Amino acid sequence: MTQRVLIRTFSPTTNANYGGILQSWALQLTLADLGVNALVDSTVSPRFGRRAPLRTRIRAAVIRLLPAAVLPARLHAEKLRTRINAPLLSFAGRRIPTRALLDANLQPRPSVLAEFDAFVVGSDQVWRPKFMNVSANLFDFLPDADPRRRFSYAASFGTDGLELGPDELAATRRLAQRLDGISVREKSGIDVVRDNWGLVAEQHVDPTLLVDREAYRGLASYQPSSVQPGSLIDYVLDDTDGSRSVVNQASKLLGMSVRSLMPTSPSTWGAFRADPQRYLKPSIEQWLHAFDTAGFVVTDSYHGTVFSIINNVPFIAIVNHFRGAARFLSLLDLVDLRERIVEPGATLPQSLVTDTIDWDAVNARLHIERTRSRDYLTRMLTRP
């Protein structure tokens, strides 16, 4: 009988993040290649506690179901986000089989829990309390005596430390010691695991790097991007004066106009209704097509950097301290491209946009890391 595995991560049905959704798809695809039937948990977990407040659940349902015309103005921004993110979030419904493990009170559904032979958490910042409940992502819903395998794959703390108080730290240490294997995404994560949980971790690449360029091209072919091939792509999440300076410098040095993958935000619901196509986010397929055909990329996104590397597109990575700098440094050190990272507002040398990247060396290193990562997953899925 085919082994069934549940993946705990950011829910791909509600997390409007290109990299977050694609890492779920990529890990699921990789596990399928290893002969496993993997589903992604679609439960939306609060950052702390075990129960989502009733008021929060009612508010979300009201915003989702009622038209904007009858909603108070203060809720229009949330309604707008739902509509703007719709093209992006539709990917999960079409491409990622999911299962909701937890009920409305965030307690495990016994019938769903019984479906699975093993549990894996990862990737992305699943162990950063700023974004997720760390204990829930250490399978606190499983009893100690439960014999089923539980492990992490490329789990990230997002920073160089574990942002927990003493009580939470003690609770997570006990839960981590029940894991059959600990895999982290950043090199610094090895130290965090050792210093906080007293355990040994292995470092592995983000799940998106387990899948080759041709697989992503297969997705991108369904909905080509409107961005012209060979363009200078601007994929900047936090559009500050510093990041904008880097984009403008790159444009001038390359003599290329800029095409942004992040549409502007409408000021009002009326502005959106007047021209919705101007504000809708690209679909996953359109986003992938833009990276596949780009001539150059400037980004402050971790996964923007990842997909530049996958597609062998020259890039500049603007380090994003707010979202976690450790991720960028670890990734670029892994492929020996640390010189591609710059601080917001830095002055760009001409060489950074004109020097050729040795993509053969980068791809060879990725091949080694993919093999190591797949070997780890195989080991976790076959151990008693």
Give 6-25 pLDDT, tens digit per residue: 999 999 998 999 999 999 99
The single-letter code of the amino acid at 293 is T
Cα–Cα dist 78/82, whole Å: 6
Closest CA to 279 of 81, 57, 41, 45: 81
**Domain range list for the chain:** 4-210+368-382, 221-357
- Please give the residue that has the higher pLDDT: either 99 or 43: 99
pLDDT: is 86 or 267 the higher one?
86
Q: What is the pLDDT of residue 48?
A: 42
Q: Cβ(176)–Cβ(138) under 8 Å?
A: yes
Q: Which has more confidence, 158 or 138?
A: 138
Rounded-to-integer distance, Cα 128 and Cα 156, Å: 7
Q: Report the share of the chain in percent with pLDDT over 90.
A: 65
Query: pLDDT digits over 339-366, tens only?
Result: 999 999 999 999 999 899 999 999 999 9
Predicted confidence (pLDDT) at residue 52 exceeds the cutoff of 80: no
Q: Looking at the predicted structure, is the pLDDT value of residue 225 above 80?
A: no
pLDDT in the model for residue 288: 95
Quick: pLDDT tens for 298-334: 999 999 999 999 999 999 999 887 777 788 888 999 9
Place of tokens 């200078």: 232
- What is the domain class of 221-357 according to CATH? alpha beta
Distance from C-alpha of 112 to C-alpha of 197, rounded to nearest angstrom? 30
Q: How confident is the model at residue 49 (pLDDT cuts 50, 70, 90)?
A: very low
Select from 109, 116, 112, 91 the least CA-distant residue to 31. Answer: 116
CATH class of the domain comprising 4-210+368-382? alpha beta
Confidence at 53, pLDDT banded by 50, 70, 90:
very low
- Kind and range of the H or E run holding 233: strand 232-235
Residue 150, helix vs strand vs coil: strand
Q: What pLDDT was estimated at residue 339?
A: 94
pLDDT band at 271 (very low <50, low <70, confident <90, very high): confident
| pLDDT value for 118 | 97
Residue 69: its pLDDT value, please? 57
**Which of 254, 156, 154 lies closest to 207, judged by CA?**
154
Residue 70 pLDDT > 60, yes or no? no
> What percent of the chain has a predicted confidence (pLDDT) above 70?
90
User: Would you state the pLDDT for residue 266?
Assistant: 80
CA distance 141 to 123: 19
Is the pLDDT at 45 greater than 80, yes or no?
A: no
Length of the chain: 384
The token pair at 295 is 């001539």
Question: Per-residue confidence at 114, pLDDT binned at 50, 70, 90?
Answer: very high
- Residue 84 amino acid letter: I
Residue 106 has pLDDT above 90, yes or no: no
3-state helix, strand, coil in the chain (%, to 5): 45, 10, 40
Per-residue DSSP letter, 101: -
Distance CA 255, CA 91 (A): 35
Average pLDDT over residues 279-285: 90
- Provide the 8-state DSSP code for 125: S
Mean pLDDT of 73-81: 69
Indicate the average pLDDT of the chain: 89
pLDDT computed for residue 39 by the predictor? 97
pLDDT at 284: 95
Q: What is the mean pLDDT of residues 73-84?
A: 73
Residue with tokens 């016994």: 110
Peptide bond into 123 cis (omega under 30): yes
Rounded average pLDDT over 53-59: 57
Both tokens of 41, joined, read 């948990």
End-to-end distance of the chain based on CA atoms, in angstroms? 16
Tokens representing 143? Answer: 């009893």
Tokens (6 digits) for 360: 């053969």
Query: Do residues 153 and 204 make contact, with C-beta atoms less than 8 angstroms apart?
Result: yes
Whether 50 shows a pLDDT value over 60: the answer reads no
